């Protein structure tokens, strides 16, 4: 303290020295900054380093004096600062002294306190509180023992969890695992329990993985109990929605894996080696390696496998619907809003998944379909393909209401290519059949119907002829079950393809064209007794005009008329058709199978069917209906189907393709057919090939009848926009088939009777007689003999082929019309005629009619009025004659002119003659 006071005194003396503050501040400012840098600064070293190499004493002394002045200024400034703080220092020194005193007192207090604490420890803590601590420790150890026993139980649950997983008791395992986790969270402060909790979490994740695997198994083989366990387990986990997402992923994967494995199996089987390169291929490339022989089996197995997947999805939806209905029906089971939202999510997810899954199925099958060129398949094989795809599309429609646009487009593309080649080949085959056809009768059973043919079995309209509608049960038809309902308990809708090939072939041919004698007797021995007529004839009697089995029963009167009208009654009324007709009917059946299975190409198929019919009709007309002869009658026959024939020639025949037609257009046409050289149509003893003409024409009519029978079915298949084509085909073509009878049989009628000879005989008759004759002229007898000869030849032909009533009617009608018109032509050649001559004409004609009615059942006699009116016109007056000319334009100009000229002089004068001839000329002028 004294040292400090001495220092302060020195500083006070130094401070008292007189100084100039400004000069002092300048000296301090002149001090270099380095002196204020740090405490470790070595000033001596610094100043020595600053000395110049050459030392000057005077300069050194000046510099030293400068340093001294700086030091003095600094020392004075420090002294000033210290002296300014002196009061504070003194005061603080006093506080330090006081603090020292207090510290000494505190040391004494602490010493006393420690002594007293030592006494308390020895007297209280070690004696009383020690007992309490031991009791507390005992309680802790008891709790620990209980915890250890719980831990031991938790550690043993792993074994039970494994057993429950092996038993597929997923819900029990999850419930046990969750309880263990809850218990483990209570003891998580133990190190062993923290490890156990982690292990339980791993076990729970393992259960979820096994649940996912179990869920994926339901995609192919759905099991109610299995799926119920899985869903209950996911519900315990609170992951029902996640399960739905996973389920749809598994279904998508199942579809891919299923189709790939099926196709891969067939590809490797056909490859015949152990090369595994196919496994690395994409599905699209793999499908291109399917061989033709394995195409259909692979397609069938593919659809079978996909059916299993879709059936599983259907059953999954059914399970959820029933499960939710049970929950809603249970009292007090409304559930929380969260569960309601979950059910709504699952329902929407399942409904949306229907479309997604079916779309995946369509795309996989589409790739398979387009991977192989099927244009060269056999017809039966291609029909199987169409049938399988049709069944698959039916599955799709029942599965999710889809129209299967993807499948329709792909199979349509394949079908169009196949059908073009197929139809072109069939047209060529039809031409070959027609050119080699000898038009002989193909013997079929009396009750033959196209529904009996194998090709028409698909229509489902074929019933046994021995079962009448009255004997069939009148029970209402059962409601048709969907495919999913039919095959719910097992089986597969695509296994039917095997059954179709095992069906027995139909038996439609009769033995040598005849039925048994017993059947013939039952048909014809007594028409008045229904008991003698077999049920087949009561209900399924084959109409002789159509060859088809009508739905309604045939009356006894109809049977009698058929007995009287038909030639050769010892033959049953079996349809008249040829081998070509039968083959064409079968071909039409095949075409209909195609469009029935694949409706998108229905129009193309029906158009091709119409071409087949058109070509058949054109061939029959060309072979038997062309009129290359000049008839003696001035009224040449113009068939009503001539426009149709021209249209067929224009669009169907290769000869009319034109020079500018493209190769594709020419390829779609067919050459005109030629009649076989074995068919002779010029022999008079066979009535100019009448048997062949009957077989050809009636087979065409029979074919048209079958088309009429098929019209309702075709109409249901035909697209609405294309139905006018079908209606036009039936109204302008099919209905015209029976009209071909007229031109074809007209040629026979024109040659069967010698009309030229009759005209010559009539020219030799004298008609300007003065007496009324009681005996008819010879030409009438000659004409009647011609008809008798014609009737006899008709009977001879009927021994070869049955001549139906419409045919005999047409033949007789043509012959009688030609005869009557020849009579009018002969009467029109008369130069002179009296009233008695006209009476003789009437006598001749009445004699002709009387004898003719005995030869034919045709009533009324055709053109009877045509002859009688012309004969009676001779008696008309001038005015009546003029009106007659205007009203009867069916007579030729020559016939009317002759009528006027013959009447001249009797009751018509020259002036009237000129007037009547002018009227005739006016009638004829528009024709010119």
DSSP 511-577: BTTB--HHHHHHHHS-TT-GGGS-HHHHHH---TTT-S--SSPPPHHHHHHHHHH-S-TTS------
Are 451 and 593 part of one and the same domain? yes
| Residue 336 pLDDT > 60 | no
Q: Report yes or no on 133 lying in a domain.
A: yes
Are 846 and 897 part of one and the same domain? no
Supply φ then ψ for residue 784, to 5 degrees: -65, -35
Helix (H) or strand (E) holding 447: none
Are 35 and 158 part of one and the same domain? yes
Rg (CA), the chain: 60
Plot region of 490 (φ>0 → left; ψ -120 to 50 → alpha; else → beta) = left
Are 579 and 703 part of one and the same domain? yes
| Residue 499 pLDDT > 50 | no
Closest Cα partner for 652 from 665, 664, 639, 641? 665
DSSP one-letter code for 202: H
| Residue 540 pLDDT > 50 | no
At CA 727, angle to CA 723 and CA 733, rounded to 5? 140
**Range with the poorest average pLDDT among 207-211, 327-331, 696-700, 890-894:** 327-331
Are 714 and 765 part of one and the same domain? no
State how far the Cα of 897 lies from the Cα of 912, in Å rounded to an integer: 13
User: Which residue bears the tokens 């409304």?
Assistant: 334
| Residue 881 pLDDT > 80 | yes
Q: Report yes or no on 370 lying in a domain.
A: no
Q: Report yes or no on 308 lying in a domain.
A: no
Please say whether the beta carbons of 547 and 448 come within 8 A: yes
- What percentage of the chain has pLDDT greater than the value 70? 75
Are 778 and 886 part of one and the same domain? no
Confidence of residue 478 (pLDDT cuts 50, 70, 90): low
pLDDT tens digits, 156-181? 666 666 666 666 666 667 766 776 76
State how far the Cα of 513 lies from the Cα of 644, in Å rounded to an integer: 34
pLDDT tens digits, 195-236? 666 676 677 777 778 778 888 888 888 888 888 888 888 887
State how far the Cα of 130 lies from the Cα of 120, in Å rounded to an integer: 14
In 643-739 the beta strands, taken as DSSP E runs, fall at: none
| Residue 462 pLDDT > 60 | no
- Please give the span between the terminal C-alpha atoms of the chain, in angstroms, as a whole number: 169
| pLDDT number for residue 563 | 42
What are the structure tokens assigned to 678, written together? 């074995």
| Residue 479 pLDDT > 60 | no
Q: Report yes or no on 838 lying in a domain.
A: yes
pLDDT tens digits, 768-791? 888 888 889 999 999 999 999 999
Mean pLDDT over 718-724 rounds to 86
What's the number of CA atoms in the CB half-sphere (13 Å) around residue 546?
Answer: 19
Please say whether the beta carbons of 871 and 835 come within 8 A: no
Boundary-marking domain end, from 708, 723, 742: 742
Are 640 and 703 part of one and the same domain? yes
| pLDDT number for residue 561 | 46
Local structure of 220: helix, strand or coil = coil
Strand partners, 444: 509
Q: Per-residue b/e over 780-809, b at no fewer than 16 CB within 10 Å?
A: beebbebbeebbebbebbbebbbbbbbbbb
User: Which residue bears the tokens 């072109």?
Assistant: 424
pTM for the full predicted model: 0.62
Are 104 and 162 part of one and the same domain? yes
At CA 423, angle to CA 418 and CA 425, rounded to 5? 100
- What percentage of the chain has pLDDT greater than the value 90? 17
CATH number of the CATH domain containing 842: 1.20.58
Please say whether the beta carbons of 874 and 902 come within 8 A: yes
What are the structure tokens assigned to 572, written together? 């049953």
Q: Report yes or no on 699 lying in a domain.
A: yes
pLDDT tens digits, 647-678? 777 666 655 555 555 555 556 677 888 888 89
State how far the Cα of 808 lies from the Cα of 498, in Å rounded to an integer: 49
- Sign, CA dihedral 602-288-272-376, equals positive
Q: Report yes or no on 553 lying in a domain.
A: no
| Residue 529 pLDDT > 70 | no
Mean pLDDT over 717-745 rounds to 87
State how far the Cα of 770 lies from the Cα of 833, in Å rounded to an integer: 10
- Residue 613 lies in domain: 433-456+573-742
| pLDDT number for residue 534 | 37
Mean pLDDT over 490-518 rounds to 57
| Residue 301 pLDDT > 90 | yes
Q: Report yes or no on 71 lying in a domain.
A: yes
| Residue 464 pLDDT > 60 | no
Boundary-marking domain end, from 721, 742, 763: 742
pLDDT tens digits, 602-652? 888 888 898 899 889 989 988 888 764 434 343 444 455 666 676 777 666
Are 700 and 802 part of one and the same domain? no
- Helices 778-798 and 805-828 meet at what angle, rounded to 10? 160
State how far the Cα of 885 lies from the Cα of 923, in Å rounded to an integer: 8
Mean pLDDT over 68-88 rounds to 84
* Domains in the chain, number: 4
Q: Report yes or no on 520 lying in a domain.
A: no
Please say whether the beta carbons of 392 and 407 come within 8 A: yes
- Helices 224-237 and 170-186 meet at what angle, rounded to 10? 20
Please say whether the beta carbons of 615 and 652 come within 8 A: yes
* Comparison of pLDDT for 339 and 878, the residue scoring more: 878
| Residue 860 pLDDT > 50 | yes
DSSP 49-73: HHS-SS--HHHHHHHHHHHHHHHHH
| pLDDT number for residue 708 | 92
State how far the Cα of 310 lies from the Cα of 51, in Å rounded to an integer: 108
| pLDDT number for residue 367 | 92
User: Which residue bears the tokens 């909790």?
Assistant: 197
State how far the Cα of 745 lies from the Cα of 690, in Å rounded to an integer: 8
Are 777 and 716 part of one and the same domain? no
Are 49 and 150 part of one and the same domain? yes
Boundary-marking domain end, from 135, 152, 167: 167
| Residue 555 pLDDT > 80 | no
**Range with the poorest average pLDDT among 269-278, 392-401, 692-701, 833-842:** 269-278
Confidence of residue 7 (pLDDT cuts 50, 70, 90): low
Local structure of 839: helix, strand or coil = helix
State how far the Cα of 435 lies from the Cα of 440, in Å rounded to an integer: 13
| Residue 41 pLDDT > 70 | yes
Strand partners, 511: 514
- Distant-in-sequence, close-in-space partners of 47: CB < 8 Å, separation ≥ 6: 67
pLDDT tens digits, 798-855? 888 888 888 999 999 999 999 999 999 999 999 888 889 989 999 999 999 999 999 8
| pLDDT number for residue 521 | 38
Are 32 and 130 part of one and the same domain? yes
Prior bond to 860 cis, omega within 30? Answer: yes
What are the structure tokens assigned to 290, written together? 């399917």
State how far the Cα of 881 lies from the Cα of 896, in Å rounded to an integer: 10
């Amino acid at each position: 303290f004294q040292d400090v006071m001495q220092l302060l005194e020195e500083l006070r003396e130094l401070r008292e020295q007189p100084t100039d503050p400004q000069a002092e501040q300048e000296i301090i400012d002149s001090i270099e900054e380095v002196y204020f840098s740090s405490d470790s600064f070595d000033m001596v070293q610094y100043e020595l380093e600053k000395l110049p190499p050459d030392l000057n004493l005077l300069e050194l002394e000046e510099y030293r004096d400068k340093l001294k002045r700086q030091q003095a200024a600094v020392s004075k400034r420090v002294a000033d600062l210290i002296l300014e703080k002196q009061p504070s220092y003194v005061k603080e020194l006093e506080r330090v002294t006081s603090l020292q005193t207090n510290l000494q007192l505190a040391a004494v207090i602490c010493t006393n306190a420690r002594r007293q604490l030592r006494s308390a420890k020895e007297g209280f803590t070690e004696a009383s509180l020690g007992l309490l601590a031991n009791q507390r420790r005992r309680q802790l150890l008891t709790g620990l023992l209980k915890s250890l026993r719980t831990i031991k139980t938790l550690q043993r649950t792993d074994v039970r969890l494994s057993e429950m997983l092996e038993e597929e008791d997923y819900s029990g395992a999850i419930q046990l695992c969750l309880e263990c986790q809850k218990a483990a969270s209570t003891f998580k402060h133990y190190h062993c329990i923290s490890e156990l909790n982690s292990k339980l979490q791993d076990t729970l994740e393992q259960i979820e993985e096994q649940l996912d695997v179990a869920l994926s198994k339901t995609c192919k083989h759905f099991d109610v109990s299995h799926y119920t366990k899985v869903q209950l387990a996911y519900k315990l986990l609170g992951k029902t929605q996640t399960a739905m997402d996973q389920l749809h992923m598994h279904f998508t994967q199942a579809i891919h894996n299923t189709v790939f494995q099926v196709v891969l199996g067939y590809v490797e089987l056909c490859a015949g080696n152990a090369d595994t390169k196919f496994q690395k291929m994409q599905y699209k490339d793999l499908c291109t390696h399917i061989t033709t022989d394995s195409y259909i089996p692979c397609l069938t197995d593919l659809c079978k496998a996909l059916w299993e997947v879709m059936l599983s999805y259907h059953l999954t939806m059914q399970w959820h619907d029933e499960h939710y209905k049970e929950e809603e029906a249970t009292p007090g089971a409304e559930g929380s809003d969260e569960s309601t939202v979950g059910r709504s999510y699952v329902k929407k997810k399942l409904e949306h998944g229907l479309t997604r899954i079916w779309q995946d199925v369509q795309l996989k099958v589409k790739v398979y379909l387009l991977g192989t060129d099927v244009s060269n398949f056999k017809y039966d094989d291609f029909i199987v393909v169409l049938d399988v795809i049709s069944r698959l599309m039916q599955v799709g429609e029942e599965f999710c209401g889809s129209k299967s646009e993807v499948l329709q487009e792909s199979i349509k593309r394949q079908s169009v290519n196949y059908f073009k080649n197929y139809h072109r080949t069939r047209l060529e085959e039809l031409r070959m059949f027609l050119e080699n056809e000898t038009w002989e009768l193909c013997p079929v059973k009396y009750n033959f119907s196209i529904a009996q043919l194998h090709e028409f079995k698909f229509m489902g309209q074929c019933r046994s002829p021995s079962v009448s509608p009255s004997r069939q049960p009148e029970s209402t038809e059962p409601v048709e079950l969907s495919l999913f309902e039919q095959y719910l308990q097992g089986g597969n809708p695509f296994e039917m393809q095997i059954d179709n090939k095992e069906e027995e072939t139909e038996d439609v041919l009769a033995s040598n064209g005849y039925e048994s004698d017993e059947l013939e007797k039952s048909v014809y021995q007594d028409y008045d007794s229904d008991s003698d007529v077999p049920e087949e004839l009561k209900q399924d009697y084959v109409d002789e005009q159509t060859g088809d089995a009508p739905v309604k029963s045939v009356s006894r009167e109809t049977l009698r008329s058929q007995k009287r009208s038909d030639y050769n009654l010892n033959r049953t009324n079996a349809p008249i058709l040829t081998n070509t007709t039968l083959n064409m009917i079968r071909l039409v059946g095949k075409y209909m199978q195609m469009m029935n299975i694949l409706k998108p190409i229905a129009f193309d198929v029906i158009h091709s069917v119409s071409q087949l019919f058109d070509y058949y009709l054109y061939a029959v007309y060309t072979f038997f209906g062309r009129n290359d002869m000049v008839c003696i009658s001035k009224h040449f026959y113009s068939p009503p189907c001539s426009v149709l024939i021209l249209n067929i020639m224009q669009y169907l025949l290769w000869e009319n393709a034109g020079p500018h037609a493209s190769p594709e257009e020419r390829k779609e046409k067919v050459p005109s057919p030629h009649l076989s050289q074995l068919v002779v149509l010029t022999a008079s003893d066979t009535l100019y090939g009448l048997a062949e003409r009957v077989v050809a024409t009636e087979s065409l009519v029979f074919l048209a009848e079958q088309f009429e029978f098929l019209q309702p079915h075709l109409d249901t298949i035909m697209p609405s926009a294309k139905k006018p084509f079908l209606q036009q085909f039936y109204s302008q073509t099919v209905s015209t088939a029976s009209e071909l009878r007229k031109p074809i049989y007209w040629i026979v009628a024109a040659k069967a009777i010698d009309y030229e000879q009759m005209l010559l005989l009539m020219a030799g008759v004298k008609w300007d007689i003065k007496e009324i004759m009681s005996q008819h002229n010879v030409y009438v007898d000659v004409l009647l003999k011609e008809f008798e000869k014609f009737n006899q030849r008709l009977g001879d032909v009927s021994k070869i082929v049955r001549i139906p009533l419409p045919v005999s009617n047409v033949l007789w009608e043509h012959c009688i019309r030609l005869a009557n018109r020849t009579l009018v032509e002969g009467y029109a050649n008369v130069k002179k005629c009296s009233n008695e001559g006209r009476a003789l004409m009437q006598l001749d004609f009445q004699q002709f009619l009387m004898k003719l009615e005995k030869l034919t059942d045709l009533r009324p006699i055709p053109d009877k009025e045509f002859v009688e009116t012309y004969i009676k016109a001779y008696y008309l007056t001038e005015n009546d004659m003029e009106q007659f000319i205007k009203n009867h334009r069916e007579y030729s100009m020559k016939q009317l002119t002759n009528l006027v000229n013959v009447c001249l002089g009797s009751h018509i004068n020259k002036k009237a003659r000129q007037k009547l001839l002018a009227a005739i000329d006016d009638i004829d002028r528009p024709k010119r």
